[in-house]
Chain A
Amino acid sequence: MNHIAKIAVVILFTCSIGSVNAQNAKGKKGTFALTNATLETITNGTVSKGSLLISEGKIKAIGTSVSVPDGAEIIDCSGLTIYPGMIDGGTRLGLTEVGSDARTRDFSEIGDVIPQVQALTAINPNSVLIPVTRVSGVTTSLSVPSGGLFSGTAALVHLHGYTPNQMYAGFKGVVLNFPSTGRRGRFDRRTDEEIKKASDKSLKNLKDTWAKVVEYHKIDSAIKAAASKEQLDYYPEMEVLLPVLRGETPLLLEVNTAKDIQAALDWVENKNLRVVFTGVSEGWRMAKELAEAKVPVITGPVLSRPTRDYDRYDRPYANAGIMHEAGVKVAIRTSGAENVRNLPYNAGFAATYGMGKEEALKAITIVPAEIFGLQNEIGSLETGKIANIVVTDGDIFETKTQVKHVFINGWQIPMESRHTKLYDEFLERSPGLKK
């Protein structure tokens, strides 16, 4: 083989490797200058004909007079709009792969009081669902365990990375599935008595568990105060609930019906917890009380049915807006897994039904960032923040809008997923009808 042929073979070989991705194409790190764009900064209004510089994973500069350093890859964004990556305040992303297959479901562990089980451990960085989600502009998701009373610890992740630690976004919260009193829908065939029994049992469980945490706290505090060498016995759940009681670890309290919301407000009163209410589908019934208690809320899905047959058809659409109007800090979630990509549409319906565009956009960017205590890192386009960036060809809420570029932690994300790959393969199938 002559020299040129050898080179040709090497080039061919390299190309073929480059185009084969068993899973996904690689992300690309570098310095990127996104120019001539409309910037929806969230916190500092809209900038037209602006630029945004991404370097070392961060937003290095933003505005109308950004100087582009040598070696930066320039991406012309004329006619396009740049948004901060969307944040879904509650999903099962990474914790489930195929809904009906129990072997791929990792969001519900056995046990009632197991706050120590970690969603971050079970999040599958290679889930096929993740690329499908991020190419639609959702860059960050709170993956939440469920079931039992204290279901586990939820974790916020950015949707790019090969290990949970690479994905971890810096927020964890213990999930409390607050005891519910109602019937769980029309197909809940338990008798009234059985329902009452179950909810009483669950409430008692909460009270008993919390009494133990208080006791544990007292002993622990006494030991520390006395600088004693005594050691407390190891209780995994207490290790996790103690910082919740002390207001150090956030508590994500899942609650939905009006009656339960009132009970939950009563329960958290005077406890000085760092608490967030999640779900809150009947928040519109309790908006004043929630606002007075200054409890932040992560609500959704917005695209859901009214909780009661006699409620107005559009209550779930209007819920977030009504709470916001009353003064509640409201973030929006999908509660989904495979269709977390519909987060902008959930926010869009909230916008249409009373919340308004600006506030609905905040509810999936800066507001969840604030709720997670990460307002200095994510949720808006500001210098120094993590470069989670979405570039679109229009209003991010509009259904037909196309997402053109996504950056997560400064990595340029390949704009492909199982869905786009199948489209590419099958739009014009080859062979077609004939062999």
Chain B
Amino acid sequence: MTKNIVTTFLLLLTIQVYGQQKGSVLIKNGTLLTITDGVKEKTDILVKEGKISKIGVDLKVPSGIKVIDATDMHVMPGIIDAHSHIGLDAINEATSPVTAEVFTGDAVNPLDVSIYRALAGGVTISHAMHGSANAIGGQSETIKHRYGTIDPDEMKMSNAPRTIKFALGENPTRVHGSGNGILPRTRMGVEEVFRSSFSQARQYMKKWDKYNAEKKQKGFKGMSPRYDLRLETLADILKGEIIIHCHSYRADEIYMLMNVSRDFGIKRLVFQHVNEGFKVAPELAEFGAMASVFSDWWAYKFEVYYSTAYNATILARNGVVTSINSDSGELIRHLYHEAAKTQKYGGLSDVEALSMITLNPAKQLGIDDRVGSLEVGKEADIAIFKNHPLSIYAIPMITLVDGIIEFDLENDADDMRIYVDPEEKIEVTLAVSDHETDRCMQDTDFLFKQ
């Protein structure tokens, strides 16, 4: 018993210490792809206490600081994935068309080896999203890839804006209409879910406003309205405190959500996947909605049959802030290559292509003041590549989060698991020949037993 207590205490202590880690390091002589301030050859970056403190030529080496020689290497901001499900134990709370009250932050799994593999692809931040089973899904968590901790809270990017997952089209209509026999079964129903939910939230806000005003008056007698976490969340969306990230494919449904948002005064809107975003690119730009797209995924379901790999380019050229995401434990490992496809499909410049996996996803998550470019004062999430990251010959060499080296090819062990299942008898082997689809619908398969 005593031993257990001691162990637990020690464990807590290590977590605490780990949580406080911010690195200091000097990255020497690299080719800096700053995103916001061009390319800087043979330049150094000084990182102090997890933040970029200086960028310049021939910076002095402060005593006792680790030096990374980046000669002939490309140094870029850590890659950010605006749509991911790695590091999560649960994805879909598929029990109602509206589940705004749940948080993926309650299901963060820091032991997921996918996090390490993302780091090995230069990815330092991912948006750990709720799935797309519900028209209004749960709130998502922006995580920093601090691999090695066993404390879920350590994964979270502190003070990142709140986000919530919405979903349009086939997924919510399949799960609830076809699967459960309740609204929404059609795209008409999906709109109805939004309009009635936001209307209820408005009413809820009014009740509370009234109560809060009246309770200050002398001699007030009465009860507070019922506290409802679902409506609280919806109210926070109306107040602009939560960014909507909406799973979407078809142009008409994208257009619908912009109309609904306008009617309810909602401004912070990011469309996810948004395969047919290119068809309403001028409208997206006018609204100020952003787009987070696949580089080239299409035809895996009917909604994406009329897609084009030129989507990102068309959106960007129309003035929509666009990012390339993975939605996959596989793709997340080579987002630098996915971004390069915008050069094949539409000839985007290097900085435009790289923005799609750095500054633009940062904007979509509301963290662009902290990460997404190499700038003094920003957090030291940095990826170092041999060869240009947009080249097919690129190799991620070192990845830092908050100035701490989280991946280093030269010192990389084969087995990077933190947790080993002691009961597992038969080796888990993935059948790679099976086409990996997105995990947006994970945990809903019970509805579709064939």
A positions within 8 Å CB-CB of B: 97-101, 128-129, 146, 180-188, 192, 195-196, 254, 256-257, 279, 281-282, 301, 303-314, 316, 335-339, 341-342, 345, 348-349, 351-353, 395, 397-402, 418-420, 422-423, 426-427, 429, 432-433
Give B289-329 interface residues, CB cut-off 8 Å to A: 296-302, 305-310, 313-314, 317, 329
Which of A305, A306, A339 contacts B296 (CB under 8 A)? A339
Can you pick out 30 interface pairs between chain A and chain B where the beta carbons lie within 8 Å of each other? A129-B299, A182-B427, A183-B426, A183-B429, A186-B428, A254-B433, A256-B432, A257-B427, A305-B117, A305-B329, A305-B333, A305-B430, A305-B432, A305-B436, A309-B428, A310-B414, A310-B415, A310-B416, A338-B297, A338-B299, A398-B391, A399-B337, A399-B344, A401-B344, A418-B308, A419-B298, A423-B346, A426-B279, A427-B313, A429-B279
Binds A, one of B132-140, B234-242, B355-363, B392-400: B392-400
Q: Which residues of chain A have C-beta atoms less than 8 A from B442's C-beta? A: 187
Most buried by A among B307, B341, B390, B392: B392
Q: Is the CB of B301 within 8 A of A101?
A: yes
Q: Is the CB of A281 within 8 A of B344?
A: no
Kindly state the separation between the CA atoms of A128 and B301 in the bound complex, as whole angstroms. Answer: 14
Binds A, one of B7-15, B30-38, B75-83, B280-288: B280-288
Kindly state the separation between the CA atoms of A397 and B340 in the bound complex, as whole angstroms. Answer: 12
Which of B299, B305, B344 contacts A402 (CB under 8 A)? B344
Q: Is the CB of B299 within 8 A of A256?
A: no
Q: Is the CB of A97 within 8 A of B429?
A: no
Given contacts A98-B302, A399-B337, contact A336 B435 (CB under 8 A): yes
- Say whether B334 faces chain A, with CB atoms less than 8 Å apart: yes
Kindly state the separation between the CA atoms of A337 and B239 in the bound complex, as whole angstroms. Answer: 45
- Say whether B437 faces chain A, with CB atoms less than 8 Å apart: yes
Top 10 A-B residue pairs of the complex, sorted by shortest distance between their CB atoms: A399-B340, A400-B343, A348-B392, A99-B300, A423-B310, A338-B299, A182-B429, A422-B308, A100-B301, A310-B415
Kindly state the separation between the CA atoms of A124 and B113 in the bound complex, as whole angstroms. Answer: 40
Kindly state the separation between the CA atoms of A426 and B317 in the bound complex, as whole angstroms. Answer: 11
Q: Is the CB of A98 within 8 A of B344?
A: no
Q: Is the CB of A399 within 8 A of B302?
A: no
Q: Which residues of chain B have C-beta atoms less than 8 A from A313's C-beta? A: 116-117, 120, 333, 412, 416
Q: Which residues of chain A have C-beta atoms less than 8 A from B425's C-beta? A: 192
Q: Which residues of chain A have C-beta atoms less than 8 A from B17's C-beta? A: none
Q: Which residues of chain A have C-beta atoms less than 8 A from B427's C-beta? A: 182-183, 257, 308
Most buried by A among B302, B317, B329, B431: B431
Q: How far is the CB of A34 from chain B (nearest CB, A)?
A: 22
B positions within 8 Å CB-CB of A: 113, 116-117, 120, 278-279, 281-283, 286, 296-302, 305-310, 313-314, 317, 329-330, 333-334, 337, 340-341, 343-347, 390-395, 412, 414-417, 420, 425-437, 442
Chain B residue nearest to A432 (CB atoms) is B282
Kindly state the separation between the CA atoms of A62 and B286 in the bound complex, as whole angstroms. Answer: 54
Which of A279, A353, A400, A433 contacts B340 (CB under 8 A)? A400
Q: Which residues of chain B have C-beta atoms less than 8 A from A184's C-beta? A: 429-431, 434
Q: Is the CB of A99 within 8 A of B433?
A: no
Q: How far is the CB of B94 from chain A (nearest CB, A)?
A: 16
Most buried by B among A186, A335, A399, A400: A399
Chain A residue nearest to B170 (CB atoms) is A100
Kindly state the separation between the CA atoms of A427 and B392 in the bound complex, as whole angstroms. Answer: 27
Kindly state the separation between the CA atoms of A195 and B429 in the bound complex, as whole angstroms. Answer: 12
Given contacts A310-B415, A419-B309, A426-B278, contact A399 B435 (CB under 8 A): no
Q: Is the CB of B390 within 8 A of A399?
A: yes
Q: Is the CB of B395 within 8 A of A352?
A: yes
Q: Which residues of chain B have C-beta atoms less than 8 A from A307's C-beta? A: 429-430, 432
How would you classify the secondary structure of chain B's contact residues: helix, strand, loop or mixed? Answer: loop
Which of B301, B329, B431 contacts A99 (CB under 8 A)? B301
Kindly state the separation between the CA atoms of A183 and B423 in the bound complex, as whole angstroms. Answer: 14
Most buried by A among B297, B393, B436: B393
Kindly state the separation between the CA atoms of A166 and B414 in the bound complex, as whole angstroms. Answer: 48
Q: Is the CB of A338 within 8 A of B395?
A: no
Q: Is the CB of B433 within 8 A of A349?
A: no
Kindly state the separation between the CA atoms of A34 and B300 in the bound complex, as whole angstroms. Answer: 37
Q: Is the CB of B432 within 8 A of A304?
A: yes
Q: Is the CB of A342 within 8 A of B296?
A: yes
Kindly state the separation between the CA atoms of A196 and B414 in the bound complex, as whole angstroms. Answer: 28
Chain A residue nearest to B118 (CB atoms) is A313
Chain A residue nearest to B119 (CB atoms) is A313
Kindly state the separation between the CA atoms of A309 and B430 in the bound complex, as whole angstroms. Answer: 9
Q: Is the CB of A427 within 8 A of B301?
A: no
Q: Is the CB of A429 within 8 A of B282?
A: yes
Q: How far is the CB of B86 from chain A (nearest CB, A)?
A: 11
Given contacts A256-B429, A401-B344, A422-B306, contact A303 B330 (CB under 8 A): yes
Kindly state the separation between the CA atoms of A402 and B314 in the bound complex, as whole angstroms. Answer: 18
Q: Is the CB of B392 within 8 A of A349?
A: yes
Kindly state the separation between the CA atoms of A309 and B414 in the bound complex, as whole angstroms. Answer: 10
Chain B residue nearest to A188 (CB atoms) is B428
Kindly state the separation between the CA atoms of A398 and B350 in the bound complex, as whole angstroms. Answer: 14
Given contacts A338-B300, A400-B390, contact A426 B314 (CB under 8 A): yes
Q: Is the CB of B298 within 8 A of A338?
A: yes
Q: Is the CB of B297 within 8 A of A308?
A: no
Chain B residue nearest to A90 (CB atoms) is B433
Most buried by A among B116, B117, B437: B117
Which of A312, A339, A423 contacts B412 (CB under 8 A)? A312
Known contacts A301-B432, A400-B390, A423-B346, then 5 further A-B pairs from the complex at CB < 8 Å, ordered by chain A residue: A305-B329, A307-B430, A313-B117, A419-B310, A426-B278
Kindly state the separation between the CA atoms of A97 and B301 in the bound complex, as whole angstroms. Answer: 9
Q: Which residues of chain A have C-beta atoms less than 8 A from B412's C-beta? A: 312-313
Q: Which residues of chain B have C-beta atoms less than 8 A from A181's C-beta? A: 426
Q: Which residues of chain A have C-beta atoms less than 8 A from B431's C-beta? A: 180, 184-185, 256
Q: Is the CB of B346 within 8 A of A146?
A: no
Most buried by B among A185, A307, A398, A422: A422
Q: Which residues of chain A have C-beta atoms less than 8 A from B278's C-beta? A: 422, 426
Kindly state the separation between the CA atoms of A427 and B309 in the bound complex, as whole angstroms. Answer: 12
Q: Which residues of chain B have C-beta atoms less than 8 A from A182's C-beta? A: 426-429
Most buried by A among B317, B329, B428, B433: B433
Q: Which residues of chain B have C-beta atoms less than 8 A from A335's C-beta? A: 432-433, 435
Q: How far is the CB of A403 from chain B (nearest CB, A)?
A: 9
Chain A residue nearest to B425 (CB atoms) is A192
Chain B residue nearest to A185 (CB atoms) is B430
Chain B residue nearest to A187 (CB atoms) is B442
Q: Which residues of chain B have C-beta atoms less than 8 A from A187's C-beta? A: 442
Q: How far is the CB of A347 from chain B (nearest CB, A)?
A: 9
Kindly state the separation between the CA atoms of A196 and B426 in the bound complex, as whole angstroms. Answer: 9
Q: Is the CB of B392 within 8 A of A309?
A: no
Q: Which residues of chain A have C-beta atoms less than 8 A from B116's C-beta? A: 313
Given contacts A180-B431, A256-B431, contact A433 B283 (CB under 8 A): yes
